[in-house]
Every structure is written in C-alpha cells, then in structure tokens.
C-alpha cells in the first residue's frame, strides 16, 4: 500500500540546500565518503566550541554534535542553570539554560556550509529544546515520538506524539532560501540492545514518515549496530528499501549508530566494535556514522578521544570501500517482518502519530523488555548461537506468519545477563586474545616433553606439589583467555563426539555418580566413600559396571561421565592427573576388541578433524601447530602388544615389569618416541580389574588396550572386551582380591545374563590437552582438582 505522508504532497525529490545538514551529507555521498560524527557535549561554551572545532579539523568528513545534558533532557532547566552558576560540570551542553547568544557564540565561525552541526538530546517533551536550538540558528536535530518516549520516560505515547508534532512543525517552518531543516529518527536504537532488527527498522521508518507528514523534507533514518554483522547489513538494506518506497520526493539518508548497548571495556575491544560499525556503514551503503570512543564504558570521553574515534572510523571506512567486497545478500526475513509492521501501523490510521499510538495499544509494535506503561511487554528476544538477534516471543505483533519457530521460548534471568553482555564479551575476548598471543607464545614454548623430562629426572618426593602456573583463584582461571579458548575447543570436541556417535546409532545415557561399589581397577587411586543413608557408598571412579548394565537398554551406548579418583599425591605435578575428571565412555554389545579399536580410532580422528577444520584460529592462538595431527588424520593408528612395549622400554633403559601395568613415566617415554597415536594391547592379567576379559587362547593375557598419544602427552584412553559370564567374573573377582558380596546388584544382573561387549573410556581432559597442546591436563578443566591440592 502507499500512503500520502507528505502534507504538502510533493513528489519531485528536493535537492537540499548545499549548506544544510542533508545537503552536506548528500554531497559527501556523491564523492563516496562516509560522514562521521561524535556524540559530544560539554557544559562549558568554550569547551563545546573547542570540541566542535576539533571535530571539524579531524582528518575525516565530519559533522559536529552538540549533545545536551541530562537536566535539560528532562526539562530541569533551573537545575541546569544552578549547576552552571555553581560551576558544576554537566554531562552535556545545556542549550536552554545558556542564553541563545552564548550558543550563537559557540557556533560562530565554526558552523559553516562545510561543517553542519546537529543537536542531540533524548527528550520526549523537547519543545524548549527545539525553541532554543532554532533561536540559536540551528536546524538539525534528532529524536522521535516513540524512540525518545518508550525507553527513557513515563510520558504517555499520545502526549509524546503531540509534543513531536509541535516540534516538527516548529523546525519545518525554518525552511527557506539556503535553509533545509533536518530531523533524524532515533528509532533505530530502541533500548540500545536486544531489539530485533525488523522492529528497529520499522520504528525508524515510521518515525521518518511521521516527520515528513509534519513538514520535514530532509530526514535521516537511524539504525544501531546490533550483535551480528550480516544481520545488521540485511537490516539496513531493508531500511533503505522501505525508505525508498515510502519517502518519495524526500531527501533522506541512513545513519548508523556504533553499538548502543553494554560496551567493551578494553581499548582493543572498543576499537574493534567501532571498526565493525564503520564496516557495516560502508557495506550497507549508509551515508553517516555516529562513533563511540574507547572511553565509552568508563567515562565521558575527552575531545582528543573523540577525534581519535572519528579518524579511526574514517580510515576503516576508506579501507572497507577499497576492498570492494560484494555486499551481503542474506535474506532471513528482516525486510518482510519490518514491512509487515510498517503496513500494519499505516493501516490503523492515516495519521501516523495516531497509528503509532494505536499500534502500541494493540501490541502491533511491542518492544522487548521495555517497561514503559504504554508498551504491552508481551515480546521477548534472545541471541542465537550464531549471534543473531531473534524473537523468543512475538506477543501480538502481526508477524506470526513470518517468524520461523514462532513458538515462544523462555528467556531466563541468566540468559538475559548473557545476552546483555554478548557484544562486550565477544569484542573484549577478541582483544584480549590478540594481546595475549605474544605472551602466550612465550609460555607455550615450554613443551610437554620438557615437562615430562623435568618430572622424571626430578620426581617430586615431597608429596603434593603444585605446578607452576596453577591458578591462584577460580576467577583467574575462568577468566583467562587460555582457559576460555580451551573450554570452547573442548565444547566443540564434545559436540563432535556426540554427533559422531549418534550418527552411528549410539544412545547417550547419563551415568550414575553414586553406587554401592565402583570400578576397582583405577591404578593406585583411592575411592571416595560417602554416607548414603547410613550405607557406605562410593563415588564413581569409572562406570564400567554400569555401562555393561546399560546394554540391557541399548546395544550401543555412551556416557560423558564424571569420575572421581583420589590419585597419589605425587601425581599432582605429572601434568596428566586430576582427582576429578571426565571420560567419554563407550560400550558396544557383541563387539570384539578389534571392533572397538576401530570405533575409538574413528571417534578420535573425527573429533580432531572437527577441531582442526573448524577452530584453526583458536589452535593458532594456543600455539598448537596443526601439522602435529597430519599422521593421525591420514593413517591407521599403530598397534603394539604390551610385551613388545616392555621390550622397547627395556631398550631405552626403563625397568618395566612384564607382569604389570605400564607406569605413567614409561607411558610418557613411549609417547615421546612415537609421532602417531599408539595402541598398546594385551596387558597381563593382574594389571587390570576383573572386568577386562581374559583371552581364551592365551590365558594370562587380557583382551584390552590403552591408547597412547604421541609427543609425550601419554595415555588418553583404556578399553577392553568385557567378562560377562557369571562364573568367570566371580573367579576373577576372587583372584584380584575383591569381595563378590559387595557387587550384589551387578552379579545379580550378570547371573540373569548381560551381553558380551567391549568398550572404552576416553579421558576428556587428556584428549583436550593433546588437541590443544597444553602443558597440563588441569588447564582443560574449569574447576581443576589436582591430587592433594585444596581446590574449589
């Protein structure tokens, strides 16, 4: 539909006067330049004038800004006058409190045809402000009946509309030879964050139409940078398409606001966000950009900081224009949603102000999280996994046919906190990662091989040592860029494992944590007893018995299982032991050892490939050279029997008993000798628990294995075919000194029959350490518990 929104009914596009705000921007557009503008306002006329002059003189195409103080915004002009009389600095320029001749003096010789100045305020009742700026000879400002009412005031929308009608008319009357008043919508900002782009576009466009309906012929439409560059670009394209359709014969342009929500606190993060805004402005064909400074999160910026931001944005804009990257072509429906909202409002009443009032009353427009009494408050928004703002609930807005998965989703208080700080976190993290890269490269030159060597030649015999670098506090550890990068990679590894196993028909089950008995085979580690309603129960050291039981439900299962083992104190500095850790625990009914080795090998390769392909930046940041995985990804893992491994160890002078488990020091030596993952198979009976199946053809030998990582990272995984026959299990229990009476529930199941099976437990922290090249396994755990070390 079309609607006559121009009271004068003009259809010929106006060419705004060369010296006017719109005329200046139009000229800059023709010469291909982006106009940049600060958010600058000082209470002292002298400083305000200096700020304007510095803006004009910056190496960029600039327009000047007079931002008003918060007293003036709410009509507290006498408070502003009192502050001026008392010599108290305000947070902006009090244009009403200052005499108009003072303001004329501020502008004289600074404001010119090649340097227009705009007043920025934030008032829902701005008549005094408009009168003052007009009296001072100014004719460019911004705001809107919705955008300065809903977020910041309790003024009823109806009143705000009336106020803005008066103000538009007051400003439009200024039009004359060489003068074309200009009004910018603030509607592209709505609460600064978490308002989905389609609603921002709709409100910004509707406010522009409202301005035009009340006499303005030169307007700009704002859009505030949100959470995802591609989505923002799509939104600005939608805004331009709607403006082109609904503002015929009008001089209009688009202004981008650098992010208006919780701002990055690091200088690098703040710069990064400003640069992203400048790129958005260029890529979306916008004409003007309002910048923010590195001081944004902390205080009111200085003039010099404003100039730096202007020049930085201008430089990025030039570079982006020269890149000649094709504009994005995403269409996720922003235009359709925004257009549906605009059409719905226009259909309510030919008078756009009345239409807007009715639209909020009926919930056609409903700003998420806005508490204004005239906002229905039935909508919710959230941030997608790819950083896009989306609707969690659309309330009564007429876009149900357009919003995918219109089923409302709950947004919890912690979701909200995370969403509010999403942009800050993204940009601060990126900045911290960048600045830590060098520092980290130094710390990582200390390879695990060296660690192992040191540990072996100087064994810690004094008990619980704490390795260098172990975090002093959870805060230090959790907020460290290394930890965060490692945990992100670990998350991807788990995702990869789950997808890989699920695709092969595995069912993920959740493991028990408490039982009357737990796997007795954890070498040298003690179990934790707990009081379970008067019974002495255990925390799981591993869940092998339960995995066997789980095969009664499904043939192929896996857990991501927490395990607790009180490892000997001397393991605290091995870099490979944690008292609390996790395993990807897999068990397959009817499988042989060969079967399970193939499943494990495929799983490890799948996880590593996923990280190498999808997280190269993170690996580079951690200093992990991905060429370390070339062999792993391209050829089958090596296999060696325990007997052969013992011979190898003897050859390099390590006194390894052929009857026993390979100790962790020997594992490291083996690990350092290979460039490729290595399976060690056929451990001697007596080295492992009763559940590892004894070979029927070579008695005394178990059908089991360990997986050893190369480069000194050591053992990643243990696994085996399982004993599953009642008689054999009971006799193996007796051989290993276990009391069968303790295993009542398990033996009952076994007696009635459980499937034969094979399985493994792949240490998640150990695998993460290997993939990320960390010094120690504790770095791959959010709450590391080193043996014997007091930990949260």
Partner 1 sequence: MESDSHTWNLVFLQLVLEELGHRVTNLGACVPDQVLVDRCRLPPPDLIVISSVNGHGYNDGMRLIRMLRSQSELAVTPIVIGGKLGIGGADDLRYSGALLAAGFDAVFQDTAGIESFRSYARSLSGQAS
**Which residues of the chain form contacts with partner 1 (CB under 8 A)?**
151-154, 191, 369-373, 411-413, 416-417, 420
Q: Please give the DSSP secondary-structure letter assigned to residue 692.
A: B
CA distance linking residue 344 with residue 89, whole number of Å: 46
Please state the closest distance from residue 74 (CB atom) to partner 1, in A: 8
Q: Nearer Cβ to partner 1, position 31 or 410?
A: 410
Q: Nearer Cβ to partner 1, position 412 or 739?
A: 412
Q: Nearer Cβ to partner 1, position 74 or 230?
A: 74
Tokens of 688: 């492992």
CA distance linking residue 149 with residue 145, whole number of Å: 6
Please state the closest distance from residue 369 (CB atom) to partner 1, in A: 5
Q: Nearer Cβ to partner 1, position 191 or 662?
A: 191
Please state the closest distance from residue 207 (CB atom) to partner 1, in A: 20
Q: Nearer Cβ to partner 1, position 195 or 289?
A: 195
| Closest by Cα among 618, 555, 577, 482 to 756 | 555
CB atoms within 10 A of CB 307: 22
Residue 84, helix vs strand vs coil: helix
Sequence-ordered list of residues with C-beta below 8 angstroms from that of 647, at least 6 positions apart, any chain: none
Q: Nearer Cβ to partner 1, position 144 or 712?
A: 144
Q: Nearer Cβ to partner 1, position 333 or 408?
A: 408
Q: Nearer Cβ to partner 1, position 261 or 763?
A: 261
List, as one string, the DSSP characters of 415-442: HHHHHHTHHHHHHHHHHHHHHHHHHHHH
Tokens of 276: 């992203």
| Closest by Cα among 208, 257, 251 to 67 | 257
Q: Nearer Cβ to partner 1, position 380 or 577?
A: 380
Please state the closest distance from residue 576 (CB atom) to partner 1, in A: 35
Sequence-ordered list of residues with C-beta below 8 angstroms from that of 524, at least 6 positions apart, any chain: 567, 568
The tally of CA atoms less than 13 A away on the side-chain side of residue 170 is 20
Q: Nearer Cβ to partner 1, position 126 or 689?
A: 126
Please state the closest distance from residue 418 (CB atom) to partner 1, in A: 11
Please state the closest distance from residue 763 (CB atom) to partner 1, in A: 33
Please state the closest distance from residue 122 (CB atom) to partner 1, in A: 9
List, as one string, the DSSP characters of 188-203: TTTTSSS--HHHHHHH
Please state the closest distance from residue 65 (CB atom) to partner 1, in A: 21
Please state the closest distance from residue 195 (CB atom) to partner 1, in A: 12
| 95-100: Cβ within 8 A, 24+ apart | 95/66, 95/68, 95/119, 95/129, 95/132, 95/133, 95/136, 96/72, 96/128, 96/129, 96/132, 97/71, 97/72, 98/45, 100/132, 100/135, 100/136
Q: Are 257 and 225 in contact (CB under 8 A)?
A: yes
Q: Please give the DSSP secondary-structure letter assigned to residue 111.
A: S
Please state the closest distance from residue 154 (CB atom) to partner 1, in A: 5
Residue 617, helix vs strand vs coil: helix
Q: Nearer Cβ to partner 1, position 55 or 155?
A: 155
Largest Cα span, the chain: 106
Q: Nearer Cβ to partner 1, position 380 or 672?
A: 380
Q: Nearer Cβ to partner 1, position 29 or 77?
A: 77
Please state the closest distance from residue 412 (CB atom) to partner 1, in A: 6
CA distance linking residue 240 with residue 3, whole number of Å: 17
| Closest by Cα among 574, 596, 602 to 761 | 596
Strands 704-709 and 251-257, bridge-based pairing = unpaired
3-state helix, strand, coil in the chain (%, to 5): 45, 15, 40
Q: Which phi and psi (to 5°) does residue 471 adopt? A: -65, 145
Q: Nearer Cβ to partner 1, position 413 or 445?
A: 413
Please state the closest distance from residue 559 (CB atom) to partner 1, in A: 30
The β-bridge partners of 526 are 566
Please state the closest distance from residue 160 (CB atom) to partner 1, in A: 14
Q: Nearer Cβ to partner 1, position 415 or 449?
A: 415
Please state the closest distance from residue 417 (CB atom) to partner 1, in A: 7
Please state the closest distance from residue 394 (CB atom) to partner 1, in A: 18
Residue 182, helix vs strand vs coil: strand
Q: Nearer Cβ to partner 1, position 194 or 212?
A: 194
CA distance linking residue 438 with residue 765, whole number of Å: 25
CA distance linking residue 81 with residue 68, whole number of Å: 13
Please state the closest distance from residue 787 (CB atom) to partner 1, in A: 31
Please state the closest distance from residue 367 (CB atom) to partner 1, in A: 11
Q: Are 36 and 288 in contact (CB under 8 A)?
A: yes
Q: Nearer Cβ to partner 1, position 139 or 374?
A: 374
Q: Nearer Cβ to partner 1, position 192 or 285?
A: 192
Q: Are 104 and 145 in contact (CB under 8 A)?
A: no
CA distance linking residue 118 with residue 22, whole number of Å: 11
Q: How far is CA 224 from CA 190, 274, 291, 317, 507, in A?
A: 9, 12, 11, 17, 45
Please state the closest distance from residue 413 (CB atom) to partner 1, in A: 4
List, as one string, the DSSP characters of 323-387: HTPPPP---SSHHHHHHHHHHHHHHH-SSHHHHHHHHHHHTSS--TT---TTS---EEEEE-TTS
């Amino acid at each position: 539909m079309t609607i006559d929104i121009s009271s004068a009914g003009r259809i010929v596009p106006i060419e705004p006067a060369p010296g006017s705000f719109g005329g200046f921007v139009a000229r800059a557009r023709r010469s291909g330049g982006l106009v940049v503008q600060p958010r600058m306002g000082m209470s002292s006329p002298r400083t305000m004038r200096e700020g304007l002059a510095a803006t004009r003189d910056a190496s960029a195409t600039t327009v000047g800004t007079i931002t008003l103080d918060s007293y003036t915004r709410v009509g507290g002009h006498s408070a502003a006058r009192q502050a001026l009389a008392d010599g108290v600095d305000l947070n902006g320029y009090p244009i009403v409190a200052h005499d108009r001749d003072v303001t004329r003096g501020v502008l004289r010789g600074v404001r010119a045809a090649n340097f227009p100045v705009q007043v920025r305020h934030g008032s829902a009742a701005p008549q005094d402000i408009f009168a003052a700026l007009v009296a001072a000879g100014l004719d460019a400002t911004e705001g809107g009946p919705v955008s300065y009412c809903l977020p910041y005031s309790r003024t009823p929308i109806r009143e705000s509309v009336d106020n803005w009608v008066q103000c538009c008319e007051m400003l439009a009357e200024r039009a004359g030879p060489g003068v074309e008043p200009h009004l910018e919508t603030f509607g592209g900002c709505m609460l600064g964050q978490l308002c989905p782009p389609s609603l921002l576009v709709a409100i910004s466009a509707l406010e522009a139409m409202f301005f035009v309906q009340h006499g303005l012929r030169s307007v700009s439409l704002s859009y505030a940078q949100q959470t995802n560059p591609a989505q923002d670009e799509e939104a600005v394209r939608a805004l331009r398409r709607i403006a082109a359709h609904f503002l015929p014969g009008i001089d209009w342009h688009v202004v981008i606001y650098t992010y208006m929500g919780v701002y990055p606190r690091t200088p690098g993060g703040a710069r990064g966000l400003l640069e992203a805004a400048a790129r958005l402005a260029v890529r979306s064909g916008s004409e003007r950009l309002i910048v923010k400074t590195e001081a944004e999160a902390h205080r009111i910026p200085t003039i010099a900081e404003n100039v730096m931001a202007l020049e930085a944005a201008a430089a990025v804009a030039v570079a982006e224009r020269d890149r000649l990257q094709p504009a994005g072509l995403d269409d996720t429906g922003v235009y359709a949603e925004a257009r549906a909202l605009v059409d719905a409002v226009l259909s309510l009443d030919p008078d756009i102000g009345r239409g807007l009032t009715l639209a909020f009353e009926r919930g056609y427009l409903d700003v998420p999280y806005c508490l204004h009494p005239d906002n229905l408050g039935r909508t919710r928004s959230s941030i997608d996994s790819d950083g896009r703002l989306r609707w969690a609930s659309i309330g009564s807005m007429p876009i149900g046919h357009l919003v995918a998965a219109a089923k409302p989703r709950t947004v919890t208080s912690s979701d909200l906190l995370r969403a509010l700080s999403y942009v800050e976190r993204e940009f601060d993290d990126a900045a911290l990662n960048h600045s830590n890269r060098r520092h980290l490269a130094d710390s990582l030159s200390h390879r695990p091989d060296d660690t192992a060597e040191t540990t072996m030649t100087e064994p810690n015999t004094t008990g619980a040592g704490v390795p260098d670098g172990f975090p002093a506090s959870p805060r230090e550890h959790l907020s460290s860029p290394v930890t965060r990068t490692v945990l992100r990679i670990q998350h991807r590894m788990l995702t990869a494992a789950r997808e890989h196993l699920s695709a092969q028909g595995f069912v993920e089950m959740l493991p028990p944590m408490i039982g009357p008995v737990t796997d007795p085979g954890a070498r040298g580690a003690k179990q934790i007893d707990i009081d379970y309603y008067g019974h002495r129960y255990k925390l799981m050291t591993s869940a092998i018995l339960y995995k066997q039981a789980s095969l009664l439900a499904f043939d192929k299962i896996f857990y991501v299982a927490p395990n607790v083992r009180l490892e000997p104190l001397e393991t605290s500095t091995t870099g490979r032991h944690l008292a609390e850790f996790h395993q990807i625990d897999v068990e397959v009914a009817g499988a042989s050892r060969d079967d399970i080795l193939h499943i494990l090998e495929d799983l490890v390769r799948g996880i590593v490939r996923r990280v190498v392909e999808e997280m190269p930046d993170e690996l580079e940041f951690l200093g992990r050279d991905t060429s370390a995985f070339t062999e792993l990804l391209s050829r089958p893992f090596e296999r060696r029997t325990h007997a052969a491994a013992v011979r190898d160890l003897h050859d390099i002078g390590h006194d390894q008993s052929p009857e026993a488990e390979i100790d962790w020091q020997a594992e490291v030596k083996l690990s350092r000798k290979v460039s490729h993952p290595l399976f060690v198979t056929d451990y001697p009976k007596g080295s492992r628990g009763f559940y590892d199946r004894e070979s029927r053809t070579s008695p005394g030998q178990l059908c089991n294995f360990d997986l050893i990582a190369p480069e000194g990272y050591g053992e990643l995984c243990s696994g085996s075919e399982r004993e599953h026959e009642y008689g054999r299990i009971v006799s193996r229990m007796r051989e290993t000194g276990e009391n069968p009476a303790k295993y009542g529930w398990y033996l009952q199941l076994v007696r009635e029959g459980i499937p034969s099976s094979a399985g493994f437990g792949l240490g998640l922290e150990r695998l993460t350490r290997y993939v990320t090249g960390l010094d120690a396994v504790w770095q791959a755990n959010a709450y590391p518990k080193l043996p014997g070390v007091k930990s949260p």
